[in-house]
Each structure stands twice: as C-alpha cells, then as structure tokens.
Amino acid sequence: MKKSILFFFILIGTFALAQSLKAQKIKYVTIDQKVCSNQKDFQLVLKSIVADSRCPEGVTCIWAGEVTAVVSVYKDSKLIEDATLLFAMKNEKENKEWFARYLPAKQQKIKTMQVLPYPKEGKKIDSNDYCLKIGYYKQD
C-alpha cells in the first residue's frame, strides 16, 4: 500500500512539473546595430564586436571561445552608457543581470544570449552582420 501511494505521488509530481515547463515559452528580442532615434525609454544597440574567438562550425577546438562586444544604452534617444561585455560561459550570470536592467519588465527573465552569426570555417563575418539574440521566458 505504501509503495502504491508513493508511486501515485511521483506520478502526480511528474505531470505537474511537465505542465509548468510547457507553460514557459521562450520569446526572442534581437539587438542590432541600428539606433532608433524616436524610441522612448531604454534602447540597446550593438555598437561593435571587439573580438570573436568562437570555434567555427566544422572545426574541432580545445575551447568554445568567446565574444567581446560593446553595447550602447540609450534612454529617450540619449546615450547613457557604452558597456564592454564578454560573452562566455563564465560571464553568463553577470550579462543576464546587466541586460535585465535595461530590458522591459516582460523581457527580464532571460534564458539565453547569443551573438550571431556563428562563425563557419573559411568564412569571414562582415562586422555589420553581427547581432545579439536574447531569449527570455514569456510571462503570461
């Protein structure tokens, strides 16, 4: 009897967790290199990529690499700050906290951050093609 009750609670717990994970859908916001002159509140703009040492697709590397980027923060179309951010696994928490300060409240629960495009073996990325893609949990 005790085993069947325990099994029942495990089964119910599994379904409850599965439902809550499905409810959290990830949405994305892209931060590119364009300044919108008439935007109100905070606006994030990718000013430049200082360094990109990520391991290109199709190549075997010892480490994954990292990207250093300068991101500009504007408030009501006025420059507030230029921040140099290092996109690497060791800096993920600090970067999420930094972005959460400037994103709208509905976008502050950040899940992922990517610098795109990802390098490919033998192809140089034009500096104007870079952007940041921030994935956040959609709040219902």
Q: Per-domain residue ranges for the chain? A: 26-137
pLDDT tens digits for range 22-58: 557 899 999 999 877 667 789 999 999 999 999 999 8
Most distant CA pair in the chain: distance in Å?
69
pTM for this predicted structure: 0.77
pLDDT at 20 over 60: no
pLDDT tens digits for range 111-138: 999 999 999 998 999 999 999 999 999 8
103-108: average pLDDT: 90
pLDDT at 74 over 70: yes
Residue 58 is which amino acid? G
Q: How far is CA 128 from the centre of its chain?
A: 19
Rounded Cα distance, 50 and 53, in Å: 10
Residue 57 is which amino acid? E
How many beta carbons lie within 10 A of that of residue 41, not counting itself? Answer: 9
